[in-house]
Structure formats: structure tokens, C-alpha cells
Structure 1
Amino acid sequence: MNLTPTPNRRTVLTAGLVGTAAVAAPAITTPTTAFAAPTPRQDPFTLGIASGDPDATSVILWTRLALDPLADDGRGGMASGTYQLRWEVAEDERFRRVVRRGRALAKPEFGHAVHVEASGLRPDREYWYRFRLGRHLSPVGRTRTTPRAGEMPSALAMAFASCARWEDGWFTAYRHLAAERPDVVLHLGDYFYEYQAGPEGNVRGIEGPETMTLANYRQRHAQYKTDPDLQAAHAVAPWLVTWDDHELDNNWADEMPEKPEEQPGFLARREAAFRAYYENMPLRPSSAPSGIDLQLYRRVRWGRLASFHMLDTRQYRSDQACGDGFATDCAAADDPSRSITGAAQEAWLLDGFRESDARWDLLGQQVFFAVRDRDESPAEAVSMDAWDGYAASRRRITEGWLDAGVRNPVVLTGDVHTHWANELKADWDEPEGPSVGTELVTSSITSGGNGQDLEIGSYPWQEWNEHIKFQNQLRGYVSTVITPDSMDVSFRCLPYVEEQGAPAFTRARYVVEDGQHTLNLVEDNPLDTVQPR
């Protein structure tokens, strides 16, 4: 796994800021350090466990202690001392064959979170892990390592999700995702929402202020992590995470908030949000925040089958042109000096294309990549917050994978609360030209409420956006099986989210054949014929 992007003012991080210490040990012993806080009587593992960012010999294990997850001060009801946890990794779910164990420090300055780098593992293996604090045992998590760099695995099961708003519905989709037991899960942003939660339209009833301080962000992360369906999804497989806007502020760009009047104090808010994000995600120490900066773009290789290029299209982007909504014929959107990735990240990505020997190169990122024109007239009306608002950036990235001879470029996207499947063009002014890649967009977990089903081809914009092959407004996630020969894509949907217990079904299934860059429909299941309410 490549975690060393090209240095720049935003990527020079201080490893000493990591909030945990973990070492391999031949046996688990009772902590005797003078700084250890007394073991609490209540279960401190109320936020569950998680793993992430695997490579061939290691994986990050995460937990955060909280006795009172929704405490207003963001400290989770924990004492101000440091707790010494024990952790184990085993080859079996009952922990009869423990292969690694050690200790980790849960410090108050990092919200009593731990990030354990469990190393010395075998490539391409399934493992189970858990934590212990005194007599308290955490839930058991399932994780895995990646294949060796030169190996070609026969298949990879990968699911990805985005956009879960607590007030809008139940996280049942996470439970269905967990039941599929994928090898890896990508979360592409809007893990939570920063908005003030009030009684109006609040399906789940818990209210809270807009997140502005470190205490607010810690509390909001904890609120979401109390959800048992989200905990199940975290526990089933390693996650690769990236953020979008709502982990900080709607439509933020670099050092600029959505609302200009909120500029004073925004950098302090950004620092708080970044710190809380790191504390609550299974990220490697190389992503530990330094002030207002956090290194999030990184690369994870799954042998020679797939490379995941995890992008950050928020922290380095130019401010949105012509406002941050849809704009018509905005000349600034094509200004080559503007960027959605920043120069250093763009160079890192293009280098990754040139160095890749993967069968599939997947870009895990936040916002709509393909052209999405909502005006059928010759005028172009496109979103300034998406890649349409940074057309020169998109052109350079597309030309980069073409020049590098990337075999199967696939863009994975969240943000827009609906499923989409798009074919990508080298020249968007020539819609009949060959497709040079594909884009898969996941709907939301809950954001926007229940949503609605649409027949394939019925979405009006598809008439003049011929590269858009599928759009559906139900909630859900995307499940894939990647092999050397094809990528099998299932758009998983729920008929409703505003009540608990909804079933899940495959609304549509597409296959992308190796080297073809086109979407082939193999299954079409309208809601009224599959899962009536």
C-alpha cells in the first residue's frame, strides 16, 4: 500500500501526534503502568470496533471508549486518564489460534480512540480481532489482508456506500451490506451530517446542534456509531474511507466555508472536524492530523487485480465557480488554473496510473465525475460542486489514464443520493465517441428519505446525456464482484428507510467486461415486481 504521496504544505504530518501505542507481545499481561486509569464498571465498547487500510501484512484496528456516547462535552463519559487496552488477532472467530496480541493506549486528548497497526500477518488471509479492557471484551470484528503485490487473486467482493443522515431514516442498508460479507468496504463521504437536528422531519428523534466544536464533532460521530447496523458493517470487513463535505460543512472548499459570513473561525472548525474524523475512523498513523491538515488520499493495492486510489476532492480544491449549485455556461468552470484535487494530489494520481500493473484501477472519490447537464438546450447547466465545475481537472485525469494505458479505469462516487451508472468520454462534445472508462455512483444510505423507483431509461436527463445508462432514486448501496475478466455490479436498493426492517433487493445489475469500458445490463428488477411495500 502506497501511503507516501508527494509532499506539499498539506502532506507534511507529524507522526508523533498518533493517539495510540501498540506493540506485538508474546502474551497479554495485566497493565501495571502508573498512568493507567481505573477500569470502568460499565461496558466501554459502546461504539463498536472497526478495521481499515489493509496491506499484505498488516491492517489497522480501531475502537473508541465511551460510557456515555452522547455526552455533551464529547468525552463519552470517560475519565480524563489514559486507559491501557489489550488487543488480539486470531485465525478463527473463537480465538483458539491467536497470532498477534499487544497493548494500546486510549488517551483523552484523542477522545480515547485507538489505532492499532496489527502487523506481521499473512497475505490474503481472513482474521478476527477484539479488544479487552479489564473484564470488558469488545465485539469481535472480521478483517483481512490484501494479496501480495505480484499475485492475481481470482475474485474480490467490494461494496461501497455514502451519505447516511440520521434524521432521514434507519441504517438498514448497512445491515444488508454486512450480511453480504464483502472483502472490503469503501465509504465515499457524508458519513454523518453536520446540520442541526430538530423535530421536523426527524424520523429517529434525537436532536442536536450544528457541529462547530471538537465536542460537537465527537458527539456526532459517537451518535452515528451507536447504530447497531453501522456497527455491523464496520465489523464485517476492513474499510477504506474518504470524506465529502458534511463531515465538516456543506460544500466547503479548501479553507472556505459554504457561507462567507462563517469565514471567521472556520479554520478552527476545520481543525476540530479533522481531528474528530481521524479519531473515529480506522486510518493509519500517516493520516493523523496536523492542525488544519489531514493526509487522506492514499493507495491500496489488491495484488494485481485492483488498485484503489482513494481521493480527497475537498481539502485542496479551488472554490466553486459561479456559486456552488447548478450554473449555466459558466466559463470559469473550464479554467485550467482551477483544480478539484490540487496539484500535488493530481501528480500523485497520474504517477499512480503510470506505475499501475492492476487489471482494474478504481478511483474512490466523492462527487459526480461524468458530465451531468440538466438543460436540454444547447446551453449547459451543470453542478459547480462536482467535476463539471472543474472540467480541466477532469480532462487532465482522463488524459492521464489514457496516456498511461490504464486497462480498466472505474470511478466510484457518492454524494448525490441516487444510483447512477455512466460511461465516460475522452471528449464530452462527441457523445458518440468511444467510452474510455465507467463511473458507478451509489445512492444514499438514508439521505433524502425513502426516495422512489424509476424505470430504466425514464429519467428525463438521459435523453440528452446519452452516456448515463442508469439512474434510480431508491436508497441503498453498490455491491461488486471483481475478477480478472469482469466487474459485476449490483445496485442494491431498499423500498423504504423511514421505517425499520426494510428488505434489500438488486434493482439492476450490470457487467463491465475487461477492456471494454461499457456497461452491459444483465438484470432489471423494478420495485413493484420484486419487493412490494
Structure 2
Amino acid sequence: MSPLTRRSFLVTGVAGIAAGAVAAVPGVAAADARRRGPLAGDPFTLGVASGDPSRDGFVIWTRLAVQPLAEDGLGGMPDRTIPVQWEVAADEGFRRVVRRGTAPARTEWAHSVHVELEGLAPDREYWYRFKAGPHLSPAGRARTAPHPGMYGGGLTMAFVSCAQYEHGYFTSYRRLAEERPDLVLHLGDYQYEYTRDTYTIPGGNIRHHEGPETETLANYRQRHAQYKADPDLQAAHAAATWAVVWDDHELDNNWADEVPERPEVPQPNFLARREAAFRAYYENMPLRRTSIPRGIDMQLYRRITWGRLATFHMLDTRQYRDDQGCGDGYRDCPAAVDPARSITGAEQEEWLLDGFRRSSARWDILGQQVFFAQRDNNAGPAKVTSQDAWDGYVASRRRITQGWVDAGVRNAVVLTGDVHAHWASDLKLDYDDPTSATVGSELVATSISTGGDGADSDPATHPFLAINPHLKFYNNQRGYVLTRIEKDAITADFKVVPFVTQPGAEAHVKATFVIEDRVPGVQQTYLRPVDPSATTRAAIDTIQETVDWETKRP
């Protein structure tokens, strides 16, 4: 097929969705498809993205917005359906176009476009782009997964979380884009709900949110647009295919199912807020039609299979959980061990356990939000743990851990976000017995920007590691985790940037850990010495500093 040109667009017009690709929101009246008119400016201000790869395709996404920060959340777009042409090529120069079609960008979905591609070759790079009127979008890069019977040539996967726009620049997204990974997992807190200067860092915030605290659909659409307009975030989306799950700030800090952060304060509109947040999340993410929200519900947990090499079990630990038992912070909480309480809900738990039983992957990887391993911050007999994490749902954690052990999962690895610091941990069935067998591994990514610059630190001096011998690593700088997944091992580089309160920082490896095939647990192979020039404050390794990320409101 010929490259995308103005003439080819005019000739092909609205030829419909090409074979093997379907718009996530089907059906648009012919009259709407014919309604055309000049747009007020470039509609591709929010960039492009791809998501949820399969062996023969992936989702490609864009959302039209000529004025991204418009208060009504509709991006300054006209109140009509806009036909958006798209194409996918086997080369970066778009000389070998393999798919082409048209999808409707509809007002009721904030002019977002989700195209699900099928019929592509497995384990291949592709490039994609969109066109609306005379405007051509940037190009994005995506990759299909290997055939289910093949391992492929290994997988370069990065995972990230927690990007608070006000706390700093998204430099780590830019550095991640430069790595050109095959797959990126975003494990939550993609955006934050607070109004300007509600959640601040020492010295004051670097940038500012537009609009009030997000509560309405217009608020959430505007906030997503403000984040998506960031050039570093756009670069990371364009560089690789993503798989996303939310945590709390996509809706409300520390929410639990139908319970807001502060249930003691009457919030009669919370479920309407949840519905708005879910709808805006779908509109702004490269998700398949199976995730189209239905009222206050949205199917987000799912599996992504990377040939025989890896199965990614993407979890949702917010929508179905019981409310935190004793508040959200660190507590000695009897409710934490109640076997009736769950962080996943019964249906998702059974789905996950069934996935373990059916798995033949070399690596079973859980992409999820909150700290999985036990983190006791009390050296005495009382167990003081975070009630917002798996520590607040001990029986739920035990059932899932026992589930992968009973299923004979070859290698279980948990990937985590949320806590604004890098961690690495061995996973146990019995954390109270340091000699008990290690049955899995956990890697935790620090924040992209939340918390500001952070500081370099010596993990050996952190009190949590002394109290919890299964915890093996800690660092309080910003960054991401870059992994190389192969048949014999996963190698994880904990990448950090020295600052985010100014743009342009370079990234470097703070530590490297290896997880060997059939050898559960993390093994450190490299640790960069503390760089005093990157240490922005004294006394950085205290328990209070480790947990103050949980105190997110004044």
C-alpha cells in the first residue's frame, strides 16, 4: 500500500474500518460521517498511544482536542462526529502500509478513538498514525506479541507509576521513551485528582493543575488532557505499547470500591464521581472494548500473553476491595487478618487462581498497584503495617500466594507501584518466619515525579530492611524500572534521575537485580554508591519519610 498522503486520504475517504480492525465504539450514522468542517487548529495535541498487545494486533488510540484545557473537558472540539483516518505500517517511513481505515471520534466519548487491530504478524514492530481533516498526528511505535507457541527473542519491558504533574517534570517518561522498550506497564496514579496546591512538596509545587478537584466528567476529562499534553508523557506513549491499570488517584485518594477516602464526610455524589472517573479513564487510555465502562463498573483486570515467555495478570485492587480495616495508614489492625476480607474481590481472585492453574508460561507476572510483601515498621512484637496495601488484607495475600504455589507456577513475579520509592523483595508464605521458603519475587517502581526530587540513599541503612529481612532494596529517587525478560532470567535495572524539579535530568542505573528461572527471590548484581551531589536533604532514611507518602492531604 502507498504511504499516507493528502491525496490518498481524499481518495480513500471514509472507506470504513479495514479488515481485521474494529472501532471500540461502533456505529455512526452515514449523515454524521459526511458532516465535515474545518477544525480550529491541530486536533492531535494529546498525542497517540497503543495498548494491550496480542499475537496479531494491539489497540491504537488518540483523542482530538484543539484546546486541551477547555473547562468543559471537550477540548474545544465541535459538537459533531469527526471521521479520523488511521494507518499502520511495517516501517517507520510508512512506505509499507499494511492496514488503513476510518474511525468515528464522537462527542459523547470526548472525541476519543480506539481501533483494535487484528491480523498482523506476530512478534513484529509496527508504526501507526492518524489524520483528521488536513492534520496528521505524530507517529507511534507498537509491537505484537510472539505466537503462543514461541518464546520470541526476549522482552524488554518497563514499568512505572505515580506521576504527579505539580511535583515535577516527567523526565523519566522521556528517558523511558529513549530506551525503546517493547512493552510498558503503568501500574496506577497516572494522574492526580487534587486542585492546585492541595498536595504540595517542600519548597512549593513546580507546576499547577488546572481546574478544581476532579469530581465531574468535565473535570476528569480536563485533567487527563492536561497530563496527556505533556511532551514527555507523549513521547513515552509513542515509543511503545502500554498496558495500564489504575490505582487510587485516577478517582479519589485511597478509595475502596464504593467507599470514598473519607466516608465519615457525607458524599452523596461519590458513585456519580466514580462513573465519571471511569468513563474519562477509558476515553484517555488505549484499552479494548471489553473495558468500556458500564455505569460505575469497568472491567480492567485482564491477561496479556507474551508467547510462551510471560503471562501478565493485570490486576485491579481498588474496584472490588473491602474498605481499609483501621483507616488507611500504618496500624496494628486486627481486621487485617480477617479471612473474609479481600483486596481483589472473590471473582477476580478466582480468575487469578484459575490463571495460575492454566498457565504454561515461563514467567507469571502480576501487574498491580500496592505493596505486596509484608512491611512491618515496628521492631517490637506488634505488627504495624499499611492498611491500604496487601498488609491490610493478609488472608487475601495468603490465598493468592498459596494459589501460585499449589498450581506449580514456575516463576511468580509481582510488579508494584504506589509507594514513590524503588524496592525489591523476596515473597514468602510466612513472613513471621525469616527461614521460611521464598516462593516469589517483588519489584517495586518509584514514582515518575510524585514527592519531588527525593534523594539518593544507602539501602543498607533503612530501618524497614532491618525489621523485614525479606526486603532487599530501597531507594528514594524518582525513575522507572527497566527489565529484560528472557527464558533463563529477568534482569531488572532500577533507573533513577537525580532531580525532577527542573527539566533535563539524565537517568542512570541505581541497582540491578536478577531473578533466575526456578530460583524464587531477587539477587542483587549491582549497586551504585551514594552520590552526595544527588542528596537534596539530610536524614533521608527514617520510617516517617518512608510512610509520609500516605499522608497526601493537609
| TM beyond 0.5 | yes
Q: Are 1:243 and 2:230 counterparts? A: no
Partner residue of 2:228? 225
2:306 to 297, 302, 309: 302
1:316-350 Cα offsets, whole Å, 9 max, x none, are 0001001111111x111111111000000000000
5 Å-filtered alignment, 1:139-218, equals: 139-198=138-197, 201-218=204-221
TM superposition shift of 1:22: 6.5
1:489-521 Cα offsets, whole Å, 9 max, x none, are 000001110011111000000111111112111
What is the CA RMSD across the aligned residues, in angstroms?
1.7
TM superposition shift of 1:528: 1.3
| Native 8 Å contact 1:168 1:446 kept in 2 | yes
Q: Are 1:24 and 2:32 counterparts? A: no
5 Å-filtered alignment, 1:378-457, equals: 378-457=381-460
| Native 8 Å contact 2:210 2:223 kept in 1 | no
Q: Distance in 2 between matches of 1:454 and 1:344?
A: 41
1:257-314 Cα offsets, whole Å, 9 max, x none, are 0112243110000000000000000000000000000000000000010000000000
Q: Are 1:370 and 2:381 counterparts? A: no
Q: Structure 1 residues 527, 101: CA separation in 2 closer, same or farther (over 3 Å shift)? A: farther
TM superposition shift of 1:530: 9.4
TM superposition shift of 1:154: 2.9
| Native 8 Å contact 2:186 2:245 kept in 1 | yes
1:402-443 Cα offsets, whole Å, 9 max, x none, are 000001100000000000000000111211112100000000
Q: Structure 1 residues 146, 25: CA separation in 2 closer, same or farther (over 3 Å shift)? A: closer
Partner residue of 1:508? 511
Q: Structure 1 residues 262, 210: CA separation in 2 closer, same or farther (over 3 Å shift)? A: farther
1:94-148 Cα offsets, whole Å, 9 max, x none, are 1100000111000000000010012211111100000011211000000011011
Q: Which moved more, 1:513-522 or 1:237-246?
A: 513-522
| Native 8 Å contact 1:451 1:475 kept in 2 | yes
Partner residue of 2:105? 106
TM superposition shift of 1:202: 2.0
1:26-80 Cα offsets, whole Å, 9 max, x none, are 9xxxx99431342314110000000000101111000000000000010100011
Report the 3-state secondary structure (helix = DSSP H, G, I; strand = E; otherwise coil) of the residue aligned with 2:366: strand
Partner residue of 2:283? 279
The one-letter code of the counterpart of 2:460 is: G
Q: Distance in 2 between matches of 1:319 and 1:210?
A: 22
| Native 8 Å contact 2:455 2:534 kept in 1 | no
| Native 8 Å contact 1:299 1:307 kept in 2 | yes
| Native 8 Å contact 1:372 1:382 kept in 2 | yes
2:297 to 285, 293, 296: 293
Identity of aligned residues (%): 62
Q: Distance in 2 between matches of 1:518 and 1:300?
A: 23
Q: Structure 1 residues 126, 529: CA separation in 2 closer, same or farther (over 3 Å shift)? A: farther
Q: Distance in 2 between matches of 1:291 and 1:528?
A: 50
TM superposition shift of 1:198: 3.0
Partner residue of 2:350? 347
2:461 to 458, 461, 483: 458
Partner residue of 2:268? 264
Number of aligned residues = 508
Q: Distance in 2 between matches of 1:186 and 1:39?
A: 37
Partner residue of 2:73? 74
TM superposition shift of 1:315: 0.2
The one-letter code of the counterpart of 1:168 is: H
TM superposition shift of 1:25: 6.0
| TM-score, length-scaled by structure 2 | 0.90
The one-letter code of the counterpart of 1:471 is: Y
Partner residue of 2:88? 89
Q: Distance in 2 between matches of 1:262 and 1:212?
A: 14
Report the 3-state secondary structure (helix = DSSP H, G, I; strand = E; otherwise coil) of the residue aligned with 1:393: helix
Q: Which runs of 5 or more structure 1 residues have no equivalent in the other structure?
A: 1-20
The one-letter code of the counterpart of 2:464 is: W
TM superposition shift of 1:88: 0.2
Q: Distance in 2 between matches of 1:91 and 1:530?
A: 45
| TM-score, length-scaled by structure 1 | 0.93
Q: Distance in 1 between matches of 2:16 and 2:274?
A: 28
The one-letter code of the counterpart of 1:416 is: V
The one-letter code of the counterpart of 1:58 is: G
